[in-house]
Each structure stands twice: as C-alpha cells, then as structure tokens.
Amino acid sequence: MDELITMTAADLSAAMAAGEVSAAEVTTAHLDRIAAVDDRVKAFLHVAGDDALAQAREVDARRKAGEPLGPLAGVPVAVKDLFTTVGMPTTCGSKILQGWRPPYESTITRRLRDAGAVLIGKTNMDEFAMGSSTENSGFGPSHNPWDLDKVPGSSSGGSSAAVAAYEAPLALGTDTGGSIRQPAAVCGVVGTKPTYGGSSRYGVVAFASSLDTPGPLGRTVLDAALLHEVMSGHDPMDSTSINAPVPPVVEAARHADVAGLRIGVVSEFSGDGYQPGVMTRFTEAVDLLEALGAKVTEISCPHFKYALPAYYLIAPSEASSNLARFDGMRYGLRTGTGSAEEVMALTRAAGFGAEVKRRIILGTYALSSGYYDAYYGKAQQVRTLIIRDFDAAFSQVDVLISPVTPTTAFPLGERVDDPMAMYLADLCTIPTDLAGNAAISVPCGLADEDGLPAGLQVMAPPLADDRLYRVAAAVEAALEQRWGHPLLAEAKGLAR
Amino acid sequence: MPITRDEVAHLARLSRLALSDEELDHLAPQLGQIIEAVAQVQEVAADGIPPTSHATGLTNVFREDEPAPCLTPEEALSGAPAVEMQRFKVPRILVEE
Amino acid sequence: MTVTYESAIGRYEPVFGLETHVELGTRTKMFCGCGTTFGAEPNSQTCPVCLGLPGSLPVVNRRAIEYTIKIGLALNCSIASWCRFARKNYFYPDMPKNFQISQYDEPLCVDGYLDVAVGGKTVRVGIERVHLEEDTGKSLHVGGATGRIQGAEYSLVDYNRAGIPLVEIVTKPVPGTGFLAPEGAKAYVTELRDVLRTLGVSDVRMEEGSLRCDVNTSISPRGSGTWGTRTETKNVNSLRSVERSVRSEIARQAEVLDGGGRVIQETRHFHEDTGVTTSGRSKEEAQDYRYFPEPDLVPVAPDEEWVKAIAATLPELPSARRARLIESWSLSELEFEALRNAGALDVVEATIAAGASPADARKWWLSELARRANDMGIEVSELPITPAEVARVAELVAAGTLNDRLARQVIEGVLDEEGTPDEVVAARGLAVVSDDSALLTAIDEAIAANPDVVARIRSGRVQAVGVLVGAVMKATGGKADAARVRQLIMDRLS
C-alpha cells in the first residue's frame, strides 16, 4: 500500500510544505486507493477524479507562487453528501435528489477550498442523515473496512469508512443523534461533534435543525483537531452560529495531559444492552485515565434515560418540516401525473425510503394539534432537564465519559426490520445533541468477542471542545504505546 | 393501539406521501411501537419546566438591510423539472390557498 | 339574492374584523439580501434562502423588525420583550419550503387600537396583534378561462416575491357599527393605510398588492346578545371592495338565516364585477398548520432602549395631524374631510407656510386646482403649480393687484406653464386697473349711457349701481377692482 495513504493529514501537510511531495501526488495516491477498494467499501457516492486533481494542482501552484498555506493545503478530504458543493452532485443519500447539482456552496466546504483542502468526493450516508448503518441510503449501504459484512455506522457511515479504509485522511460528517461519533467508534477512527453553533450549517441540508452539527473525522486526534479548527467559526449566514473564537483544539490535541482533570463516568450508560467486550474496553480506558493522573468519579444524570424518546420526538418533528420542500416542483425528482398535490405525493412516495417516511409521519403526528403538548412540547421540556443534568455534572467534573455505542459494528441486515433496535445505537450519544455541547469518540480498543473496534466518548460543556482533544489525545497516546501501533494497524480486512 | 391505519393514512395525506396499501399496513404497528416508546417522555414531571427550543441562548441575530448578490435566473431554475417563460412550471393546483 | 342590505341591517347586528397584510418597503427581503423591486423579470431576485434550496438558512432583516415595532407603536400596541418566529406548515407551490416562517403565539406587537371616524363618530378598532412573516411567490395559472386556478392546466411560479417581509395586522372583532359597518370597515382600512404611509414603512398600494385585506363578517339577530358565525372574504383588492364585500356578506348571511339555515364558517372569494362573494375553502376542516418555534432563528428580544429609539422617530400620525390642523385652521370635521379626500392637506399646509391665510389656501386648492387635477386625472400635488405660487396669487389679490377673476386667469397661466404668477400678470397684462383717472373715464361713459339707471340710483335704489359697475368692468376688460369702481360711481353721483 502506498505510504502516502497511510500518512496522517498532519504528516502529509508537513511533507508538502517541505516540498517532499506535491499535492497532485498525494491526491493521485488517494484516488488510486479509492479505485482499488471502494468497489467493496462503497464509501463514495461521487469521486471527484479530475476535478480533485485540478484542485490539487491549484494548491501546488499557490505554494509555488509563495502563498502562505495552512495545515490542510493539499490534504484530501471526503465530504458527506449532505453538504452542498458546486460542481459535484449532492444527494443526501436520497433518490429524491439524485443528480441534483446545487447552485451554491456550503460555508464549510467553501472554507476548506479556501484553505487548499482537496475535496476528493462525496460520501454515502443514511438518507437525509436518518439512521445508524447506511442501510437507509437510497444507493445501497457502505461496508465496514474492518469486516465488510458489518455496518460502518452512520449516518456519516461513508465518511468513517473512507477514513478507516485509507481512502482519505480526513472526512466531514454531521452529528444529530450521534452520527459522527457512532460511525467513528465502530470504524476505529476519531470523530467529533463540536459545540452546536460552533460550525456553520449554511449549505448543510437540514435534518433536525436544532441538533445538526457538522464535524470532523480522522484517523488521529490531531488530524481531527486540524480539520475541526479550519471548518469551525462564526458564519453570518447561519443565525444559530455562535459568535465566539474557535476553542483552541489543535493546541489541546498537542498537549495530551490529564493530570488533575476531574472526569465523571455517567452511571446510566452501562448494564443491560451493552456488549461485554465494549464495556471491558471502556472500563480499561477509565482505569487508564486514572493512571494518567485524572480524578475519576461516578456521576448520575437521571434524565438521560429520557433522551432517546425525547430525541425521537424532536428530530422527526423538525425533519418532517425540513423535508417538506422536497416535492418535485423546483428541483430533484418529479414523477407521476395529475394535479400538483398528486405529483407531490407520488414524487415523495417514490423518492423517499422507508425510514424517512416513518419519521415524517411520526413528526407530523407529534406536531399535530391535540398531540403537540404531550409529545413535542413534553420532549422540549425533557431537553431542558437534560441540559440541567449536564450543568449539574459539569459543576463537579471537567468532562464526562461513557462508551460511544452499546455494541460494536452489527451485521448488515441485522436491524433493518427493527427500527427500535436501530435507534438504540444512539443511546449514549443523544444527550449531547439535545444539550448542544461537545463530544468526541476516540478508539479505545477491540472487543474480545469479535475483534471489532470500540470507542470512548468524552463529553465537555459548550465551547469547551478543546478539553475533548486534551483527553482524547492522552488516551490515544497511552493506548498506542501499550499496543505498539495505531489501532487501525490491527484491521485484518481492507484496512491494511 | 396507539395509532390506527386510518390515522396513518390521514398523516400521510397531510405530509403529501402517497403510501401504498402494503406500506400503510406495515406502518401502523411499527409506528405504534415507536409512539409507545417515545410516550415515555410523559413520565417526566415537568410542571414549571420551560421547554428548550434553542440550545445556544442566542437572541437578536440580525442582518442589515443591504443588498447581497443573488442567483441568476438560470441558476435559480437550474434544477427545475420544467420551465416556461423563465418560471417554474408546475402541474395544475387543485385547492386555492 | 332577494334580501337587500337595507332589509338585513334592519333585523341583524353586524360584526366585522379585518386581517391586513402589508408588504414592508425594505430594500431587501425578510431573511436574505435579495432585492424587493416590484415588476422585476421573473426569478431574477432570488437566492438559495428565498428559494428554500436544501441547506439554506434564514437571517432576520433588522429593518423589518424596526418597521414592525414602528407600526405596533403607531397602533398603540405593547411590544413583546421576547418573541420567536414559528413555522406554519402546509404544502403549496408558491411556498418554496412548504412552510412559511411566521409568528404564532408570540407576535411582536399586541393589544392596541386605531381610532376611526365613521359617520361623524369615533370608533375605536381594537388591534389584536401585529406580527411579521415572509411573503410567498406568485403563480400564473395557465389554460383556464379566467386566469384563475379553476380550470387551469398548469401554473407558472415566480419566486421574486417569496421572502418579502409581510406584516399581518389583525383587528379584534368590531361590533356596534350597525348600518355603518361597511363604511366602518372601509374607513378602518383607509385610516390604517394613511398611518402606514405616514410612517414610511410601505407604499401601501392595494393595486400592486403591497396592502391586502381579508374581511371577516358575521351577523346575529338584533338583541340576541350573541355573535354569529363569521366568514372570511379574500380577494378584496380596493377600498371600495372592502365596503362592498361587507355589504354583500351581511345581505347574504341574512338570507341564509332568514331561510332557517346556518351560516357556514368558510373562506369566500369576492368578485369585483358582480360585487358578491362565492364559496371557497370550507374552514370547518380547519388546516392543521402544526406550528412550532422556528429552529433556524433565535428569539427576537427588543430592549427598552431600542423601542424608545424607534418611538422617537415616529412622525406625526394622521389622527394627531387632523386634530392639530382642525384647530389651527379653524375647520369643521367635514371641511377637514374635504381637504383630506382631495389629497390637499400637504399642499394647503405648504401654502399657508408660504404666507397665505388658511381660508385662502383652502379656497384655491379646493376649487380651481382640485377641478383641474380631477380633469387631468392626477393628484393636486402633481399639478404644475407650487404652494408658493398659490400663496403669491393670494397675496396679489389681498393687495388689490388682482381680483378673483383675474387671479383665476393667472392660475391658469401658471398651470399652462407660462411662468410664475408675476410673469403671467406682466405678460398677459392682467393687473387690476388702479389708476382712478382711467376708471373715471369709463365711469362717465357708463353714466352717460344709462340715464334710467342713474335715475333709479338717485331715487334710492342703490343696488342698481351694479349695472353701471358691470358696464365699467366690461369696458376695462374685467381689470378693475369692482369695489373701487362702485365707490367712484357713488362719489360721482352724489
């Protein structure tokens, strides 16, 4: 395997800056890798090919002209197909947008382009970000590079698979209920959900507007931090965007020191439904942190058990409204004949998959007059209680930790007919989305039962994203020292 | 039974989804299960607890009344399934709003 | 329809209410920086936000909030200290997102009033709420006979108008106007339009759609003590239609009730040509809009300072101006109405400021000038004569240089763009003859030519002098001061 594709973004950046290798060579290596493995991983819906090379050559030209370039210049980034990109299709994993080419660019991909990153392609995802496996994609699922019969997690499943398969060192995802952290955990890579409002949603097709948070995926904590820093920051085009400096995540990633840090283990996130191997690796990570000098206690967050039901009321409600615009009148699929009303209904029936339809109906139900107070209204109150649980917890500890998801990657097909079972994958990740604070998933080992990756989740208060990287970097360094190599080196399947 | 087939059919009409009979048969029990699970939120005693609609606590985010570049008509119409006279052509509308 | 309005109103008590939509005159749209120019090429003023493209997000136009608060203050409302936008969800091709960003249970302004003069009395119309929302696109319906939706084969949608800020002003129900209900509804809209125009927040042209009215009407039997079921009438596109639609609805509902039927709560469509309403959508199957707070926008919380600053910019409102002018010009209500209806308030005020008396200013603008403007089909303010020029003419008359008849000719000359009043007087030689000797010549000729008249005068019938005055005026081409001539004649004959 070409060495270029196993290098981290940080190392690639340094090599290009030192003139050891060109951006064009780096991109070519990754395009070759995609061509070699993506027929099996199926991470990508669109590969930018010549366009990616053109982007790379432009970066080489800028560097040659003496322009000062940042740490992402020339680094290939895979983009979840939820971001609008000019010159590349944007499908959101849905047949209803098949072939749609947006006439405008998302703020985040605009920032990446300006920083010289090479947008190498659009990755697969669950349709409109609804799901935990990519099996809800309108174009077929992606496969976990660790074991191709297993799911790569989701909804940023294509992104996590691409990074784990060495198709790109970095990827963009979005996290609404856990959709960056859960795929990162089951693919053995790093993924962060930044503070809500910390990264712009302009050009990110909305699923649940008050929860959606764009974030980075990478193979190392430092790589994720590098992407996190460039993509984040205030955007006047997004009213929910926070006008505050980006937390110093890169600096934190380089200072992996947890001595004296107060860490709380969420007591509600264990017990039945948690795969023993996942819990074992988690417990070891807790012990490791203590050994590194952190002060670990147990913290109860009593309302966290209502997070899942609250989420499955709030998210579908907002989604039912956000997805109303897909009606075949202005863009995307139009099918069927008859009146406008009939064509809308037939188009949506043909273009949306089963999970999307389920959630639209559920959301419409929860918002209906007569039901609003008991469902949506109540869920918003639960949200307040969860925020208060976090506030109370963070008055006692600096970060909270838990497993990322109760099991390792489950087999493709196992949960497709059981929506409730699928929803359980988000158990540990949802509270952070409801509260709007930040969380990271960092690999903490392989489960004994199946040799598949498990992730450690670290949660921090809003705007304390840097704390996540500090803890994650410490864990990463200590574990790699213990293993003797990065976790991904153990993957039997494709990953090597 | 938390939700009947008829209710599902009504919701489908409201949300402009032309569901097939098989889909309707399938959905009612599935949704029933989900609704039972999410109804758990009602267990929480929430008297006097304000609902959270926005997590950031931001208020008064505005833009000034200054023009910004807009799309050309070609760009605006670029994805349109049907165009006539530089407008989006849509099938006949039944009910006037 | 067999029941007349007169018959209906004799037996039933009406209640009316109005929902008015006002397009704000901001430079850009409610949630994006697109332009708002009326009549632009289709789909040339759109962007991802107002087209509702996937991934787009709204950002609130500060000036739209300011204008809405201004309207609320002018209507004596309380301004919310914290409120949110909400999504109103329904599917319709002219709405790009299939939801409209509006306000639901947290409007920006609530609980105000507007005093309206109806039939010599003041009616206080309660204002329930004033809130902000975004306008929809516009559709052309193709293929049907009338250009309306019924019978059309397809529609063509232009989203230029989508996203323009729209203020919705909802009145409380207005009972107690009796037979004046139609007039009252029209008077409310007229006064509201004047207020909005004075505030400068909209050009309020009903014919261009920047002011739209939905009229609610209900009736109940006299003395019943309850209110009837109301209907909502749309497509009311002029002030006259506001009045006519209330009239026709009262009569129609009376006929239904007379026949033992029940008025259905529904939306009706007003027809300009026939003056009646026809049934539209039934409101009994009320649309469930599934309102919820707009998650893409954060709350709007105007602080006291901002509201105070806006209040300080409020101009003199029509009602205050009316009170002030009636007092300072010593007018009756009717005289004021005449000026107001002629659109002459501003020019009269300016003419007085240029030195004329209120009486003179009113006299000229309401007579010659109003007539001429009417003939030309324009507003008096658009005539090619300035208030300063009218004041000058009045000054010349007061000084005796012109009499009324000459003054009319001078005004004609100015309107025909011959020059300023002084230039016209000079060019046409219109000055009153003030030289007594010239007058005496004409007087002596008249006396000589009318001995019988002279005899009558000498015998005591002084009014006969009018004949001699007339003869002298004729001889001088009207350029004499009639009073002076009379005086000179009497002096001559005594």
| CATH code of domain A3-302+387-490 | 3.90.1300.10
Asked if the Cβ–Cβ distance from B41 to A362 is below 8 Å, we say no
Q: Does C55 share its domain with C160?
A: yes
Strand partners, A329: none
Asked if the Cβ–Cβ distance from C297 to A83 is below 8 Å, we say no
Q: Does C198 share its domain with C260?
A: yes
Strand partners, A411: A150
> Contact, C139 vs C113, CB < 8 A?
no
Question: Which residue out of C50, C296, C300 would a mutagenesis test of the A interface target, given it has the greatest number of A Cβ atoms within 10 Å?
Answer: C296
- Residue C422, H or E segment: helix C421-428
For C475, the domain range is: 436-493
C-alpha distances in angstroms, A415 versus A383, A423, B23?
Answer: 27, 9, 18
Domain contains C316 = no
C181-199 and C62-74 are packed helices; what angle lies between their axes, rounded to 10 degrees?
A: 130
Question: Which residue out of A356, A361, A437 would a mutagenesis test of the B interface target, given it has the greatest number of B Cβ atoms within 10 Å?
Answer: A361
DSSP symbol at C316: -
Nearest 5°: CA angle at A341, between A338 and A345?
95
Domain contains C245 = yes
Residue of B nearest to A343 (CA): B91
Residue A149: the pLDDT is 96
C-alpha distances in angstroms, C197 versus C142, C192, C193, C240?
Answer: 35, 9, 6, 19
Q: Establish, for the pair of chains B and C, how many residue pairs have beta carbons separated by less than 8 Å.
A: 138
Indicate left, alpha or beta for C362 from its phi (over 0: left) and psi (-120 to 50: alpha): alpha
Encoded tokens for A66: 């003496």
Q: Does C159 share its domain with C273?
A: yes
CATH of the domain at C465: 1.10.10.410
Q: Residues near A399 by Cβ (< 8 Å), separated by ≥ 6?
A: A261, A262, A263, A264, A458, A459, A460, A467, A468, A471
Dihedral of CA atoms C317, C323, C324, C330 in degrees, nearest 10, equals 150
The alpha carbon of A288 is separated from its chain's Cα centroid by a whole number of angstroms, namely 26
CB count in 10 Å sphere of residue A224: 34
Q: Does C327 share its domain with C300?
A: no
Residue C285: the pLDDT is 54
> Contact, C250 vs C9, CB < 8 A?
yes
> In the listed set C252, C279, C310, which residue is the last one of a domain according to the structure?
C310
> In the listed set C251, C284, C310, which residue is the last one of a domain according to the structure?
C310
**What are the E-state strand segments in A249-292?**
262-266
Residue A85: the pLDDT is 98
Task: Confirm or reject contact between B83 and chain A (CB < 8 A).
Answer: no
Burial class (CB in 10 A: 0-12, 13-18, 19+), A36: middle
- Residue A227, H or E segment: helix A221-231
> In the listed set C390, C412, C428, which residue is the last one of a domain according to the structure?
C428
Domain contains C38 = yes
Residue of B nearest to C93 (CA): B90
Domain contains C248 = yes
Strand partners, C247: none
Give me the number of domains chain C comprises: 3
How far is C416 from C433, CA to CA, in rounded Å?
A: 24
Domains of chain B from N-terminus onward? 5-43 (1.10.20)
Domain contains C472 = yes
Residues of chain B contacting residue C281, judged by C-beta atoms under 8 Å apart: 95-96
Asked if the Cβ–Cβ distance from C91 to A324 is below 8 Å, we say yes
> Contact, A243 vs A277, CB < 8 A?
no
Domain ranges of chain A: 3-302+387-490
Q: Does C334 share its domain with C210?
A: no
Burial class (CB in 10 A: 0-12, 13-18, 19+), C197: middle
Phi, psi values for residue A134, rounded to 5°: 75, 5
What is the per-residue DSSP string for C468-491?
A: HHHHHHHHTTT-B-HHHHHHHHHH
Residues of chain C contacting residue A90, judged by C-beta atoms under 8 Å apart: 54-55
Residue A493: the pLDDT is 64
CA distance C49 to chain B (A): 10
pLDDT along chain C (494 residues), means of 10: 88 96 97 95 98 98 98 98 97 97 97 90 95 97 82 94 98 94 94 95 90 96 91 91 95 94 92 88 69 97 98 94 90 81 85 92 90 85 92 91 88 91 87 78 89 89 89 85 86 83
Per-residue pLDDT of B36-57, as tens digits, reads 999 999 999 888 999 999 999 9
Asked if the Cβ–Cβ distance from A84 to C290 is below 8 Å, we say no
Tens-binned pLDDT, residue by residue, of chain A (496 aa): 579 999 999 999 999 999 999 999 999 999 999 999 999 999 999 999 999 999 999 999 999 999 999 999 999 999 999 999 999 999 999 999 998 999 999 999 999 999 999 999 999 999 999 999 999 999 999 999 999 999 999 999 999 999 999 999 999 999 999 999 999 999 999 999 999 999 999 999 999 999 999 999 999 999 999 999 999 999 999 999 999 999 999 999 999 999 999 999 999 998 888 999 999 999 999 999 999 999 999 999 999 999 999 999 999 999 999 999 999 999 999 999 999 999 999 999 999 999 999 999 999 999 998 899 999 999 999 999 999 999 999 999 999 999 999 999 999 999 988 888 889 999 999 999 999 999 999 999 999 999 999 999 999 999 999 999 999 999 999 999 999 999 988 887 665 5
Asked if the Cβ–Cβ distance from B65 to C26 is below 8 Å, we say yes
Residue C284: the pLDDT is 44
Residues of chain A contacting residue C301, judged by C-beta atoms under 8 Å apart: none
Place of tokens 């889909």: B23
Indicate left, alpha or beta for C400 from its phi (over 0: left) and psi (-120 to 50: alpha): left
> Contact, A158 vs A45, CB < 8 A?
yes
Residue C331: the pLDDT is 87
Domain contains C318 = no
Catalytic annotation present for A179: yes
Residues of chain A contacting residue B14, judged by C-beta atoms under 8 Å apart: 364, 368
Interface of B with A in 7-66 (CB under 8 A): 7-8, 11-20, 23, 27, 30-31, 33-35, 37-44, 46, 49-56, 58, 61, 63
Q: Does C179 share its domain with C294?
A: yes
Residue A207: the pLDDT is 98
List the catalytic residue out of A133, A155, A320, A402.
A155
Nearest 5°: CA angle at B13, between B11 and B15?
70
Q: Does C231 share its domain with C108?
A: yes
Per-residue pLDDT of A466-478, as tens digits, reads 999 999 999 999 9
Encoded tokens for C167: 């203020």
